[in-house]
Amino acid sequence: MGKPTGFLEFGREPLHVRPPLERIGDWSDAHPPYDEATLREQGARCMDCAVPFCHTGTMIGGMASGCPVNNLIPEWNDLVYRGQWREALVRLQKTNNFPEFTGRVCPAPCEGSCTVGIGGLPVTIKTIELEIVERGWANGWIRPEPPLTRTGLRAAVVGSGPAGLACAAQLNRAGHDVTVFERADRIGGLLTYGIPNMKLDKGIVERRVGLMAAEGVHFMTGVEAGRDVAADGLLSGFDAVVIASGSTVPRDLPVEGRELAGIHPAMDFLRANTKSLLDSGHRDGAYIPAAGRHVVVIGGGDTGTDCVATAIRHGARSVTQLEILDRPPDARAPDNPWPQWPKVYRLDYGQEEAAALWGADPRRYAVSTRRFVGDETGHVAAVETVEVEWAAGPGGRLAPRERPGTERQVRADLVLLALGFVGPERSLPEQLGCRLDARGNIATGSDRMTSVPGVFAAGDCSRGQSLVVWAIREGREAARAVDLFLMHGETVLPA
């Protein structure tokens, strides 16, 4: 522990962000850097607890508590306080393949379980993580490190999202020949086409992919496993196969008027926007425009926030976000104690931008969508909503109940359904013969192997929709399991 009284002497440094009305004019990163002195003070706030919950990565109350990849947070906080940045990077890279991703897009469950946060504001763990890795890139400390020897064994990874990339990086580190199959035209999966550029600049993704390619990982874009490459070909051409295809089937909203034009799954909106931005700076017009439209986003979470922010940058006339859940409390509720993830009200970047433009948070809580109302051309014109209250039903399970007399219509020229995902596409796992679980995800054992010997699964396709950091953890776990399988019970990869 570098400074025993640091958490008493220094306050938490607020997140450095560009002003909302400035950043909505472009698609660039919204976070200016921190100076050296400030970062060292923030590292000094770490208490080096006897039991540091920040890196436990356990599930409590159905949500992550602590870092799922078990980052050695107290160690690199102390090293940052001492100015030993390169040593801090060594600690960080032991557990996390892509801290430049998690440092930008992770909701930071580590901070939710920080001991300093029991009676004050937690350590700025996420910020310090990002600054460590970016200094590593800037100083040339992160460079290609191909394995010294190769095993001659081949592994196929289907999908290049965070789980697939983490798995590929680890398998390559173990000396196996790794080929990553990606059906899109760019590597990155969710990192490239699911997260908007202002939240995760695609140059950051390309930088890491370039490093992995230099280390020997083979990437094949525009190739869909199960269609362009037959399932039998994967089984016969590789010694092991890892499915990391994500959870990509969107949850729909089957209410009256769903067939109207102008209603889209959120990911269709986000994917087309990013592709058009990268291809032509939006000059090709190959995206779903929100300019001049009254936009309604149904659903919350990160995807809903990203839709709000993207629609604002298009020049939407208005944005309304509908959430069926109640507004969270401003502070932890009695049934949400530390070290659980704090279920409290937050103004995320998209909502902050909407408030700066129109004077209020765009979210309307505890409302349910009854139907979509169309105009004479068959295009959506409004969303009819009703307020709900949550009450215990049979068995004590909470369920929404409509409040009579609270019906209203919200004007809408464009509706985006940000309701999450119900599972992976089934074509490839069915061709391979993989068993699915009751939720439609690919079933695996504790060793990440599916019901087909030599075929493994990791990330959202087996876990269900989750965080980038969980995908990285499961990709690493799958790589270790594959290495054990290929090397007959031996592995050089960490647990």
Whether 394 has a pLDDT exceeding 90, the answer reads no
Rg (CA), the chain: 23
Q: Could you read off the pLDDT of 197-207 as tens digits, one per residue?
A: 999 999 999 99
- Contact between residue 409 and residue 385 where contact means Cβ atoms under 8 Å apart: yes
pLDDT of residue 2: 66
Neighbours of 430 (CB within 10 A): 13
Q: Could you read off the pLDDT of 123-134 as tens digits, one per residue?
A: 999 999 999 999
pLDDT band at 33 (very low <50, low <70, confident <90, very high): confident
- Contact between residue 172 and residue 180 where contact means Cβ atoms under 8 Å apart: no
pLDDT band at 165 (very low <50, low <70, confident <90, very high): very high
Measure the CA–CA gap between 456 and 434, rounded to whole angstroms. 9
Mean pLDDT in residue range 321-345: 95
Whether 12 has a pLDDT exceeding 90, the answer reads yes
How far apart are the two ends of the chain, measured CA to CA in Å? 26
pLDDT of residue 393: 83
- Contact between residue 34 and residue 311 where contact means Cβ atoms under 8 Å apart: no
Whether 186 has a pLDDT exceeding 90, the answer reads yes
pLDDT band at 29 (very low <50, low <70, confident <90, very high): confident
pLDDT of residue 176: 98
Question: What are the tokens at 448?
Answer: 């990440």
DSSP state of 96: -
Q: Could you read off the pLDDT of 407-423 as tens digits, one per residue?
A: 999 999 999 999 999 99
Q: What is the residue-averaged pLDDT of the chain?
A: 96
Mean pLDDT in residue range 41-56: 91
**Which residue bears the tokens 């104690």?**
337
> Can you list the domains of the chain with their CATH numbers?
6-138 (1.10.1060.10), 154-248+422-486 (3.50.50.60), 252-419 (3.50.50.60)
Which runs of consecutive H residues, i.e. helices, occur in 139-261?
162-173, 202-214, 231-237
Neighbours of 239 (CB within 10 A): 17
Beta strands in 174-259 (DSSP E): 177-182, 218-221, 240-243, 249-250
Mean pLDDT in residue range 248-277: 98
Q: Could you read off the pLDDT of 461-475 as tens digits, one per residue?
A: 999 999 999 999 999
How does strand 154-158 pair with strand 63-65?
Answer: unpaired
Whether 392 has a pLDDT exceeding 70, the answer reads yes
Contacts of 458 by beta carbon, 8 Å cutoff, 6+ apart: 163, 164, 167, 242, 243, 244, 448, 471, 474, 475, 477, 478
Bridge partners of 265, per DSSP, are 417
pTM, full prediction: 0.96
Mean pLDDT in residue range 343-366: 97
pLDDT band at 482 (very low <50, low <70, confident <90, very high): very high
- Work out the percent of the chain whose per-residue pLDDT is above 70: 99
pLDDT of residue 62: 84
Q: Could you read off the pLDDT of 87-115 as tens digits, one per residue?
A: 999 999 999 999 999 999 999 999 999 99
- The 10 Å CB-count burial string (b at 16+, else e) for 392-423 is eeeeeeeebeeeeeeeeebbbbbbbbbbbbbb
pLDDT band at 13 (very low <50, low <70, confident <90, very high): very high
pLDDT of residue 396: 83
- Work out the percent of the chain whose per-residue pLDDT is above 90: 93
* Residue from 250, 265, 274, 275 nearest 297 by CA: 265
- DSSP symbols for 68-82: TT---HHHHHHHHHT
Residue 343 to residues 27, 60, 63, 124, 328, Cα–Cα distance (Å):
29, 12, 10, 18, 7
pLDDT of residue 315: 98
- Contact between residue 1 and residue 48 where contact means Cβ atoms under 8 Å apart: yes
* Residue from 373, 415, 380 nearest 261 by CA: 380
Q: State whether residue 470 is helix, strand or coil.
A: helix
pLDDT band at 1 (very low <50, low <70, confident <90, very high): low
